[in-house]
């Protein structure tokens, strides 16, 4: 199903994100996790690359297997990192031939040990260039791009940030999916600023439950600027161990999702960390059986 059809429904879509494991042996465990969560009937599921495109082949293999063996709508991440235009074209041809018609187009993070992004000699420097390439050469593909409610880590100028985002959308993106945030006010403010700038595509809210204090520290490192509200930090400080900390994180994320559903936003994207527990707990707490029940 094309992503525009998914997002054209008159209710909030809920989707899940997974990252491919580092080896083929673990891929089967992840496949089982995705099958377990498929009973929740997500609007779509997406699969990421590792940092610097390090799991590109595993991503490709996993999304093709999911497409063949499940009834899920699949969105595959595609980055500019370490790939020429010809290589990206080959990847897109493979997806097209496998029945995958939705791409999350990203610039991508630099490979490990490399401080700044350096484009391939015959590649793309910006995600907007990748969007334009897909739109021109694979017009049947649905395309998503990333948004940053708390600010893009490499663009401290918030006015320029929205200009850059609008440029990506103008190249042909069908929707925006945000990075994780922990205060819904940041999301609502981001959506309003996008509206003022003339951005009219759906804006999907990215939610990731905190699983532990150590996990939160890791999230802060990966996201390069996530803002953890004081009330969340205070609740986590009361947790006697990681089991309680996980419960705090699930409760906080549940309240975020409840509020977003009450505001009837376009969509919610759950960053699952390849686990099903938190997502299932959120559904149960909100009385949701599956996506169609929302």
Q: Which of 17, 150, 161, 246 is catalytic?
A: 17
Compute CA distances 210 → 72, 117, 154, 179, 243, whole Å.
26, 28, 24, 14, 11
Residue in the block written with tokens 């401080």: 115
CA atoms within 13 A on the CB side of 155: 14
Q: Is the dihedral of CA 137, 58, 105, 201 positive or negative?
A: positive
Q: Is 17 a catalytic residue?
A: yes
Please list the alpha-helical segments (H only) found in the chain.
3-7, 24-37, 56-69, 85-97, 127-137, 158-170, 184-196, 213-223, 230-238, 242-262, 277-285
**Do 173 and 203 form a contact (C-beta atoms < 8 A)?**
no
- Torsion angle (degrees, nearest 10) of CA 132, 134, 136, 138: -170
Alpha-carbon distance 181 to 188, whole Å? Answer: 11
- Percent helix, strand and coil across the chain, each to the nearest 5: 50, 15, 35
Active site amino acids: 17
């Amino acid at each position: 199903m094309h992503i525009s059809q998914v997002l054209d429904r008159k209710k909030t879509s809920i989707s899940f994100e997974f990252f491919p494991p580092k080896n083929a042996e673990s891929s089967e465990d992840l496949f089982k996790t995705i099958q377990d969560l498929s009973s929740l009937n997500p609007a779509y599921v997406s699969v990421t690359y590792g940092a610097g495109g390090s799991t590109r082949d595993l991503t490709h293999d996993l999304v093709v297997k999911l497409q063949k063996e499940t009834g899920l709508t699949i969105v595959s991440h595609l980055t500019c990192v370490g790939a020429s235009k010809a290589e990206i074209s080959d990847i897109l041809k493979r997806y097209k031939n496998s029945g995958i018609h939705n791409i999350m187009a990203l610039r991508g993070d630099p490979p490990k040990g490399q401080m700044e992004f350096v484009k391939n000699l015959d590649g793309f420097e910006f995600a907007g260039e990748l969007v334009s390439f897909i739109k021109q050469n694979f017009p049947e593909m649905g395309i998503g791009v990333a948004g940053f409610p708390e600010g893009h880590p490499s663009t401290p100028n918030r006015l320029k940030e929205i200009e850059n985002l609008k440029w990506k959308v103008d190249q042909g993106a069908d929707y925006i999916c945000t990075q994780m945030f922990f205060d819904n006010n940041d999301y609502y403010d981001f959506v309003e600023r996008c509206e003022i700038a003339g951005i009219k595509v759906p804006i999907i809210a990215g939610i990731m439950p905190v699983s532990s204090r150590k996990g939160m520290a890791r999230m802060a490192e990966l996201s390069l600027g996530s803002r953890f509200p004081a009330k969340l930090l205070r609740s986590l400080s009361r947790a006697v161990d990681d089991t309680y900390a996980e419960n705090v994180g699930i409760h906080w994320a549940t309240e975020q999702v409840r509020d977003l559903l009450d505001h009837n936003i376009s969509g919610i994207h759950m960053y699952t960390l390849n686990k099903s527990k938190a997502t299932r707990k959120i559904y149960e707490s909100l009385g949701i059986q599956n996506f169609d029940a929302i």
